[in-house]
Structure 1
């Protein structure tokens, strides 16, 4: 198949795309009835953002999804947005924007291929099986051409996979490295088996933290599927608003987003709540992938020592072990995760800047940044909590 036989279009929202057509590219593995590898690129998640008004008109996330068709069907697609700011991305380019604007240019709007507000690694170029190479090339070519033809400053593909980074760099995109903390399941039978892999001091610390957290005066429960009820989301909305107001100035997601999740994605989420006298006082929201537990949001209306660590990190590890998942992604940033068994990993993004002078300056920066990220990961891993001495008696 040649690129001339592929038709590219831009759609202002997923309302015009059948869920089965999109998901045949986004999560073909889910055709067996199991969960998707990545819940965030599914039609139901992206549609929840759109239908709830979390993205779209007035949000700075203008819907511009790329669709590639051939042989009468969608063979590839990508969630793409025209961005009027750099918020909710977690791969920071504010300095690039300031430099471009000081030089007299308009950095915004820019094009962003991403999942809004979601710093989780996953495929950004969604390809129907059998069309991987042609679909990828067609989407990359279309996105770069749209950037250039509309005289936009830049195109950004954030939290892509390592394979996409390699393939995109081969097509001339600039690759960028960043860092997160992930927990990896080394075949642990239970949480105690995980603790057995840690140094004695770290093992004791985590046990103490869990004991303190679980003595907050109530119970901790995890809800998914039909066990989730509207009152759980009412409580979590208050938690989310409090955290969002403190971290970002205003929450990114609307209340209607959580109603949409209850309607179409309750099997894709694990909501962990700390409840006292039947009333939730804190909670953490996870999304369930086929092999990964994705920690996303946390909040509380009461402060209790260590409860954040328990709900966000330890409960997610418990759930991943119970489900036989190999990894927990706990979101962006946070060196405090290192002491709790989450190790630093490299995250990837791709970028296209049409202006040759600006592109050269950014390319030089990316080379230096990649070296720094690699060094940081090496150093931080060496300081990790895992045992390096011979097997010792657990205490």
Structure 2
């Protein structure tokens, strides 16, 4: 299937259209990742969360085939800051601006406010992947030059895409998260059986203490109501205010999520005496459960672990999912069965005066991250030997 060389720029994903976008994002190779789908990306735009006013100006790219059908797309934003990205380039920005440069605007391909791995250069399954990727990447670099942007960044691509971008000359970065992997467990107790005896006892105690006097529900699909979203949004605001001051998502976003993606949502909620006190939001892929947001209005020991980690593992086992991605940061996750895994980003820096130092820094950083992942997994794994 031949492609036209022209790359189109769209100021809203709605300009591409759901069917055309999903023809690319729905490629089976992307395992039903919910964060690259039209419904999620349109919801953050329609709710006013990822728009020019918030520093997330959509500039999505598309490429057509010879018949005029959309063959490849790239979620892309012009950014006036580095908030909500979870790949941190603030030091680069500060150094460049102290030297007299202008770091913003920059271009970013990512799922807004979401540190979850997934394809970014999205190509229809009947189209040559490398041809589609090449046209999208070329279009992004051309747009970078046209806008006078300092840089182009791709956050949390999958490993294959990341390595391909490295071969195209982008600078490669590694970070780490903590993921749980399903080793063929039939039940949560099977998972516990793979742990050391000490960890088994601790997790059982934490689950018992967290659930005392509480009702915990795992909700998805039509079981999730606006009343649940009202309660969860309160939890989200409380956590957001404490963590980063200004929560990224608004109440309308959660209504749109429930309206358009309810079958892709797992909302784990806890209540006492009929009053909701805590909740954890997950999104569901074809092979992965993605932990996203959590909050509580009452301090309950170990409730965070129960709602965010143990309930997610139990639900993933019950649905036969391959893994749970628990989001950014948190070495405490290791003791709960979530082991360190590499995550990726790729970067094009326009100015050679900044590009060289960044590339040297990233080479050293990658070596350090890889060594730390290996050390953490070896020294702190909760799994018994051979488990």
Could you tell me which residue of structure 1 aligns to residue 34 of structure 2?
Answer: 39
Q: Which residue of 145, 152, 157 corresponds with 2:154?
A: 157
Could you tell me which residue of structure 2 aligns to residue 21 of structure 1?
Answer: 20
CA distance in 2: counterparts of 1:37 and 1:43, whole angstroms: 12
CA distance in 1: counterparts of 2:98 and 2:2, whole angstroms: 42
Could you tell me which residue of structure 1 aligns to residue 174 of structure 2?
Answer: 177
Cα deviation, residue 227, structure 1: 0.6
Matched, 1:378 2:374: yes
CA distance in 2: counterparts of 1:2 and 1:122, whole angstroms: 25
- Indicate the SS of the match to 2:350: coil
Cα deviation, residue 36, structure 1: 5.4
Q: Which residue of 207, 210, 214 corresponds with 1:213?
A: 210
CA distance in 2: counterparts of 1:342 and 1:123, whole angstroms: 22
Cα deviation, residue 150, structure 1: 2.4
Cα deviation, residue 56, structure 1: 0.5
Structure 2: runs of 5+ lacking an equivalent: none
Question: Is the 8 Å Cα contact of residues 28 and 125 (structure 2) preserved in structure 1?
Answer: no
Residues 180-229 of structure 1 show CA distances to partners (whole Å, capped at 9, x for unaligned) of: 000000000111100111111111111111111011x2210011001111
Alignment of structure 1 residues 252-331 onto 2, 5 Å: 252-331=248-327
Matched, 1:387 2:365: no
Could you tell me which residue of structure 1 aligns to residue 9 of structure 2?
Answer: 10
CA distance in 2: counterparts of 1:234 and 1:36, whole angstroms: 30
Residues 339-367 of structure 1 show CA distances to partners (whole Å, capped at 9, x for unaligned) of: 00000000011100111121110000000
Cα deviation, residue 130, structure 1: 2.6
Could you tell me which residue of structure 2 aligns to residue 248 of structure 1?
Answer: 244
Question: Is the 8 Å Cα contact of residues 198 and 387 (structure 1) preserved in structure 2?
Answer: yes
User: Where does structure 1 differ by over 4 angstroms across 4 or more consecutive aligned residues?
Assistant: none
Question: Is the 8 Å Cα contact of residues 298 and 312 (structure 1) preserved in structure 2?
Answer: yes
CA distance in 1: counterparts of 2:361 and 2:92, whole angstroms: 10
C-alpha change, 1:180 and 1:191, in structure 2 (3 Å) is same
Q: Which residue of 24, 49, 72 corresponds with 2:44?
A: 49
- Indicate the SS of the match to 1:252: coil
Of 277-286 and 35-44, the range deviating more from structure 2: 35-44
Question: Is the 8 Å Cα contact of residues 2 and 65 (structure 2) preserved in structure 1?
Answer: no
Cα deviation, residue 330, structure 1: 0.4
C-alpha change, 1:59 and 1:241, in structure 2 (3 Å) is same
What do you get for the CA RMSD once the two structures are aligned?
1.4
Cα deviation, residue 334, structure 1: 0.4
CA distance in 2: counterparts of 1:210 and 1:142, whole angstroms: 50
Could you tell me which residue of structure 2 aligns to residue 334 of structure 1?
Answer: 330
- Indicate the SS of the match to 1:156: strand
Q: Which residue of 51, 58, 66 corresponds with 2:61?
A: 66
CA distance in 2: counterparts of 1:261 and 1:165, whole angstroms: 29
Residues 78-117 of structure 1 show CA distances to partners (whole Å, capped at 9, x for unaligned) of: 1100001000000000000001101101101100000010
Residues 155-177 of structure 1 show CA distances to partners (whole Å, capped at 9, x for unaligned) of: 10000010011111111111110
Could you tell me which residue of structure 2 aligns to residue 142 of structure 1?
Answer: 139
Question: Is the 8 Å Cα contact of residues 239 and 300 (structure 1) preserved in structure 2?
Answer: yes
CA distance in 1: counterparts of 2:277 and 2:164, whole angstroms: 46
CA distance in 2: counterparts of 1:69 and 1:269, whole angstroms: 32
Of 9-18 and 108-117, the range deviating more from structure 2: 9-18
- Indicate the SS of the match to 1:251: coil
Could you tell me which residue of structure 2 aligns to residue 129 of structure 1?
Answer: 125
TM-score by length of 2: 0.97
